[in-house]
Amino acid sequence: MTAPILEVEGLVKHFDVSRHVKVHAVNGVSFSIREGETLGVVGESGSGKSTIGRSVIRLLSPTGGTIRFRGRDITNLPESACRPLRAEMQMVFQDPWSALNPRIRIGDLIAEPLKLHTRLSAAERRDRAEALAIRVRLTPELLTRFPAELSGGQLQRVCIARAIATSPKLIVLDEPTSSLDLSVRAGILELLAELKAETGAAMMFISHDLGTVKLISDRILVLYLGSVVEYAPTAQVFADAAHPYSQALMSAHLPADPDAVLKRHVLQGEIPSPINLPPGCHFASRCPVAVPRCRIETPRLDAVAGDAEHRAACLRIAEGANRIPALEDAHG
């Protein structure tokens, strides 16, 4: 088993709303990503997915916890020390239109990381930018154009070319396909799979699209209100999710077989405010199998059935009472 390229322990991130009010965006999150592995990060809006992604590559400063990249503690590094690390840690954002300077030509945008992090000459950077464009399936003639002249799919390929320009060890992809058409999305996913196989880079793939996550991820981190509720190999989560929230989330994923019987878990109740999180399990107010102790005791992220690779934070697993009822439709 390969060593982790990224290790996160007890990550906390709070945002100040006022002097005495904080948004608890991330609450004690721990995980690791191995070399050549893709970790899918899923959860509803406001679950802390993007905040975690920005924190691990130090675009945000953590409130607490530890982040180790290639064995080095980078949690509290000043910005000046983080800058050289950006050659090894890159991010692809959801919206390529806002991620790229509209006044800079495509070739210069792709070459920009090379200018910042290498000693290549201008001619060498141009040649490398052309090679990168071809690698992400862009034609070289696009290099002289401006972002407004390209489609959304082409712009996201530009962002990916920029991200791989310095051969990073870790790439964080924050909803990289959510703004794209389905056909374009498939091409981007195919490209990412090829790049992972070729470069061995570790990836964190943040998305609300479960079908996409299932296709590209090796393991999945399921978040709810800034906390990890389940952490396991992808196939295991989709086939046999242990946490009630994961079960509800996975039931929303449409199966490939159009004649398959759907088992949808419908959640009721209010989502607690991240400003005033309740004690105990934060999912208890919506959980069909919650009991009084769930609203008092904070569940630990423990191994499920002794499997250290499959962990879930639910008090009811030990009792065998963690399965929630489903509403069955006759067909998908």
Residues 274-330 have pLDDT tens digits of 999 999 999 999 999 999 999 999 999 999 999 999 999 999 999 999 998 865 443
What order do you get walking across the sheet with 64-69 strand by strand?
22-34, 4-16, 64-69, 72-73
CA distances from 40 to 94, 207, 237 (A): 15, 7, 11
Tell me which DSSP letter residue 300 carries.
Answer: P
Nearest-10 Cα torsion for 158, 161, 166, 167 = 150
Cα distance between residue 154 and residue 298, in whole Å? 46
Token digits for 297?
């005791």
The position carrying tokens 């090894």 is 88
Distance of CA 230 to the CA centre of its chain: 14
Three-state secondary structure call for residue 219: strand
Can you list the residues of the chain whose pLDDT is less than 70? 1, 253-263, 326-332
- 216 φ, ψ (degrees, to nearest 5): -105, -20
pLDDT at 330: 39
The position carrying tokens 């299932």 is 214
pLDDT at 327: 52
Cα distance between residue 140 and residue 164, in whole Å? 17
CA distances from 36 to 123, 166, 179, 200, 247 (A): 31, 16, 26, 4, 28
Token digits for 154?
């082409």
Q: Which amino acid is at 240?
A: D
Cα distance between residue 258 and residue 255, in whole Å? 7
Largest CA distance in the chain: 68
Q: Which amino acid is at 315?
A: L
pLDDT at 254: 57
Helix (H) or strand (E) holding 13: strand 4-16
Q: Do residues 274 and 23 make contact, with C-beta atoms less than 8 angstroms apart?
A: yes
Taken in order 317, 321, 322, 323, the sign of the CA dihedral is positive
The position carrying tokens 């102790």 is 293
- 326 φ, ψ (degrees, to nearest 5): -120, 150
Q: Helices in the chain by DSSP H: which ranges?
A: 49-56, 79-85, 96-99, 106-117, 122-135, 152-164, 182-199, 210-216, 234-240, 244-251
What's the half-sphere exposure (Cβ side, CA atoms, 13 Å) at 95? 5
Cα distance between residue 81 and residue 304, in whole Å? 40
Model pLDDT for residues 201-238, shown as the tens digit of each residue = 999 999 988 989 999 999 999 999 999 999 999 999 99
